[in-house]
Amino acid sequence: MVLTAALLGAAVVYAVLTAIAPNRITDPDAAATALRDPAPVVTATPTAPPAEPSAPRPTLGVQPATPPPAPDRRAPTRIAVPSIGAELPVVPTGVRDDGAMEIPDDPRTAGWYRFGPGPTTDSGAMVVSAHIDSRELVGPLARLGEVSPGDEVIVAAADEEVRYVIERVDSYPKQVIDLDAVFDRGGAARLHLVTCGGRWDPDTGHYEDNVVAVAVRADIA
Number of domains present in the structure of the chain: 1
Please, are residues 196 and 206 in contact by the beta-carbon 8 Å criterion? Answer: yes
Range of the domain at 77: 5-217
> Distances in Å between the alpha carbon of 5 and those of 12, 51, 54, 136?
11, 16, 14, 9
For 97-145, the pLDDT digits (tens) are 988 999 999 999 999 999 999 999 999 999 999 999 988 899 999 999 9
Q: For position 200, which CATH number holds?
A: 2.40.260.10
pTM of the predicted protein model: 0.79
Please, are residues 156 and 76 in contact by the beta-carbon 8 Å criterion? Answer: yes
Distance CA 152, CA 82 (A): 7
Count, residues in the chain: 221
Distance CA 120, CA 72 (A): 7
What type of residue sits at position 18? T
Rg (alpha carbons) of the chain, rounded to whole number: 16
For 137-172, the pLDDT digits (tens) are 999 999 999 999 999 999 999 888 999 999 999 999
Give the closest residue to 82 by CA, choosing from 163, 170, 198, 188.
163
